[in-house]
């Protein structure tokens, strides 16, 4: 029985906690709120940080003698105290997984009931010393920093079971090939008495396992395995089909099914070696993007909206979405399974946390595996994003040397978050899930004792350096480009109903920075507003800058495929709310110019030359290597490369023949020329043509006279 709908709510205080949790209290004058929902979406609580006391009245049949009754809260942002008919039943914490409570004895007293839930989501005042494990939903630099996600954001329901309830079931595929798949299952069973039960497991309706299991009274943790012969494998969309299977577990007591759960999974095997990922033994260069929450008020995100984000990633040619700093709603993972989109799943630890969070983080990491582990799309877990708060230090309006020094110190010196908290959370993931690689933290440079470091966040052309610096950096520090999981630049979106440009160049800059993510000081370094006569010109210039940066970063990393780069995740795919941010799709999913640039740069086959310098002078000798990047599993044979160099009143053409092995990068030609004495634009157009593919690319520079 689902209890979604209109509840009554009031700001909680000690008086209400004593008097307003039972059946006799009259809440008719309280404002109405929606469950599921966030209280900030209700007019009465639009500016509230809570806590709120929420109540609902309902009728529920008295459980039979062999039945048990349960209250289940599917999603609580972020902590709660729960009363059933005035009796206190629990204090759940953790927003992304369900919490259940046995109310059998209370439910037998009557059939009219009231459920009261006090929900608290304390504001996080800073990116340091956080206590709520809510990730990017609080104090994030790509959304409204003052948003409070508090509320019952997923359904609340009451259910009945037999004497034994299967509270959780975890289904993990440890290894799989065309001959056999091996599943590891774990159940958390709650029994009202000591007894022996039968666990009956079926796959797609066929019973494959019957296990007799003794249980103690209370909660029992049970493991068992399942082998499946000749499985149909699940593949990422670029490699094969997405075969999915329903795994059903039934708990049978005295010949009667007491409770059952069904999860949908796929048979596949994943691994990582030196930041090169493989699925079912097939290595794959990962082209990805960080995925923000589909909506900042995630309760409002519909299944279609969640699915559309995955579709848009796939339409851009991406293989991977990194669910950045949060756990999303279930519909996102269902869509990823169905569409063959791999998922890098962040645990919702973002930047720095207080020391008392460790025990809760470890517990919630285990719950994350219960909640999501059956999804074949999930490729890896990441315990903590930027424990040193790297980007925060670099964006401060202070001398560059000072912020750079703090950044380097944060990366190199030991810290409680990086060296203790993250190791504990990583171990929790590894204990709960031995089938996937786990990353302790993202964006951490090599340091003692972690000499290898992890993936890199390299914001050339934003927080540091120039957008042209990546190739030289990669050549000097190849370990730092094994996997780049964040890079990009902010751009003003096309949908600007939250901006009033009528007073250009005077905008509500402070409001845009506080509530809409703008990093004005940084953006001004690269696209200064004063250089443009109109808002539209400035907006378009920011989008062109972002598109240029992303295109060339992606082309550089793709040419480094497996030598040493295993993939990338640009920052980021989408906005969660009206923002000026790093997204390539705004909050209405209107694409910026960069979305189209990324789509072109992520095609399965590209042809790319060394980038022309920003300017050249007459007489400069130029040599450009041209590569074919082939992500296909078939060779490119008898390919013809045409190169066309154009300048004012002149041109030159080359033609080359070449080929590329499957899943490879091949140099097909070297273009050599001397810059002509013709000031103005110089264009280089590339055309690749073969039996099964075609690709084009264009480079541009400007010829200027020598000083």
CA distance 318 to 289: 7
Q: What is the pLDDT of residues 9-37, one digit of tens each?
A: 999 999 999 999 999 999 999 999 999 99
Residue 704, token pair as written in the block: 């200027």
User: pLDDT value at position 447?
Assistant: 62
User: pLDDT value at position 401?
Assistant: 56
User: pLDDT value at position 706?
Assistant: 83
Question: Whole-prediction pTM value?
Answer: 0.95
> 393: pLDDT confidence band, cut at 50, 70 and 90?
very low
Q: In what order do the strands lie in the sheet with 605-609?
A: 605-609, 621-630, 664-674
In CATH terms, the fold of domain 270-602 is: TIM Barrel (3.20.20)
Homologous superfamily (CATH) for 608-703: Immunoglobulins (2.60.40.10)
- Whether 406 shows a pLDDT value over 70: the answer reads no
User: pLDDT value at position 403?
Assistant: 62
**Is domain 164-265 given the CATH code 3.30.479.30 in the classification?**
no
* Termini Cα distance of the chain: 79
Q: What is the pLDDT of residues 263-310, one digit of tens each?
A: 999 999 999 999 999 999 999 999 999 999 999 999 999 999 999 999
Domain boundaries, the chain: 5-160, 164-265, 270-602, 608-703
Q: Under a CB-based contact definition with an 8 Å cutoff, are residues 683 and 647 in contact?
A: yes
Angle of CA points 326, 327, 332, to nearest 5°: 120
Q: What is the pLDDT of residues 438-473, one digit of tens each?
A: 999 999 887 666 656 789 999 999 999 999 999 999
Residue 632, token pair as written in the block: 């296909």
- Whether 396 shows a pLDDT value over 60: the answer reads no
Cβ atoms within 10 Å, residue 199: 20
- Give mean pLDDT, residues 518-545: 97
- Do 164-265 and 608-703 share a fold? yes
Q: Which residues of 394-416 are buried (b: 16+ CB within 10 A; e: fewer)?
A: bbeeeeeeebeebbeebbeeebe
Share the mean pLDDT of the chain.
Answer: 94
User: pLDDT value at position 445?
Assistant: 81
The architecture of the domain spanning 5-160 is Sandwich (2.60)
User: pLDDT value at position 128?
Assistant: 86
């Amino acid at each position: 029985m689902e209890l979604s709908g209109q509840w009554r709510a009031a700001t909680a205080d000690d008086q209400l906690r004593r008097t307003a949790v039972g059946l006799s209290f009259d809440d008719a004058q309280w404002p109405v709120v929606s469950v599921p929902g966030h209280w900030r979406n209700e007019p009465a609580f639009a500016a509230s940080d809570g806590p709120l006391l929420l109540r609902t009245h309902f009728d529920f049949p008295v459980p039979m003698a062999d039945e048990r009754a349960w209250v289940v809260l599917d999603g609580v942002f972020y902590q709660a105290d729960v009363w059933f008919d005035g009796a206190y039943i629990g204090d759940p914490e953790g927003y992304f997984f369900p919490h259940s409570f046995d109310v059998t004895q209370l439910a037998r007293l009557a059939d009219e009931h009231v459920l009261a839930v006090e929900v608290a989501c304390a504001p996080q005042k800073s990116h340091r010393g956080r206590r709520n494990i809510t990730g990017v939903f609080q104090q994030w630099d790509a959304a409204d920093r003052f948003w409070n996600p508090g509320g019952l954001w997923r359904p609340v329901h009451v259910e009945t079971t037999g004497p034994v309830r299967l509270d959780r079931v975890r289904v993990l595929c440890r290894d799989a090939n065309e001959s056999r798949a091996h599943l590891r299952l774990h159940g958390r069973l709650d029994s009202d008495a000591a007894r022996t039960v039968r666990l009956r497991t079926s796959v797609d309706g066929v019973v494959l396992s019957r296990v007799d299991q003794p249980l103690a009274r209370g909660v029992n943790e049970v493991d068992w395995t399942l082998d499946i012969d000749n499985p149909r494998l699940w593949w990422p969309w670029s490699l094969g089909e997405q075969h999915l299977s329903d795994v059903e577990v039934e708990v049978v007591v005295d010949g009667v099914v007491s409770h059952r759960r069904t999860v949908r999974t796929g048979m596949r095997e994943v691994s990582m070696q030196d930041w090169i990922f493989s699925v079912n033994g097939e290595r794959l260069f990962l082209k990805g993007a960080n995925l923000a929450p589909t909506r900042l008020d995630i309760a409002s995100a519909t299944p279609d909206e969640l699915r559309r984000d995955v579709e848009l990633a796939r339409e851009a040619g991406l293989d991977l979405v990194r669910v950045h700093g949060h756990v999303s709603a279930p519909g996102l993972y269902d869509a990823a399974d169905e569409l063959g989109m791999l998922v890098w799943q962040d645990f919702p630890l973002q930047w720095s946390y207080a020391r008392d969070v460790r025990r809760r983080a470890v517990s919630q990491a285990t719950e994350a595996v219960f909640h999501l582990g059956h999804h074949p799309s999930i490729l890896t877990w990441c315990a903590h994003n930027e424990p040193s708060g790297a980007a925060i230090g670099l964006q401060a309006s202070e001398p560059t040397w000072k912020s750079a020094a703090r950044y380097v110190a944060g990366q190199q010196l030991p810290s409680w978050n990086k060296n203790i908290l993250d190791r504990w959370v990583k171990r929790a993931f590894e204990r709960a899930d031995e089938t996937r690689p786990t990353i302790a933290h993202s964006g951490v440079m090599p340091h003692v004792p972690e000499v290898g470091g992890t993936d890199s966040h390299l914001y050339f052309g934003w927080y540091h350096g120039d957008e042209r610096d990546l190739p030289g950096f990669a050549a000097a520090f190849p370990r730092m480009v094994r996997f780049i999981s964040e890079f990009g630049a902010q751009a003003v979106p096309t949908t600007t109903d939250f901006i009033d440009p009528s007073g250009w160049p005077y905008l509500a800059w402070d409001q845009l920075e506080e509530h809409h993510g703008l990093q004005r000081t940084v953006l001004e370094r690269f696209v200064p507003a004063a250089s443009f006569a109109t808002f539209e010109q400035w907006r378009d210039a920011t989008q062109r800058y972002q598109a240029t940066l992303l295109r060339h970063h992606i082309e550089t990393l793709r040419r480094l495929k497996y030598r040493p780069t295993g993939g990338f995740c640009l920052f980021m795919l989408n906005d969660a709310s009206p923002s000026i941010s790093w997204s390539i799709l705004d909050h209405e999913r209107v694409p910026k110019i960069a979305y189209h640039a990324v789509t072109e740069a992520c095609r399965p086959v590209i042809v790319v030359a060394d980038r022309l310098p920003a300017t050249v002078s007459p007489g400069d000798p130029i040599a450009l290597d041209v590569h074919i990047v082939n992500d296909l599993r078939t060779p490119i044979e008898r390919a013809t490369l045409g190169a066309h160099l154009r300048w004012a009143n002149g041109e030159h053409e080359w033609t080359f023949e070449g080929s590329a092995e499957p899943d490879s990068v091949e140099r097909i030609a070297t273009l050599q020329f001397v810059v002509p004495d013709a000031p103005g634009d110089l264009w280089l157009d590339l055309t690749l043509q073969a039996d099964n593919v075609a690709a084009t690319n264009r480079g541009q520079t400007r010829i200027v006279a020598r000083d």
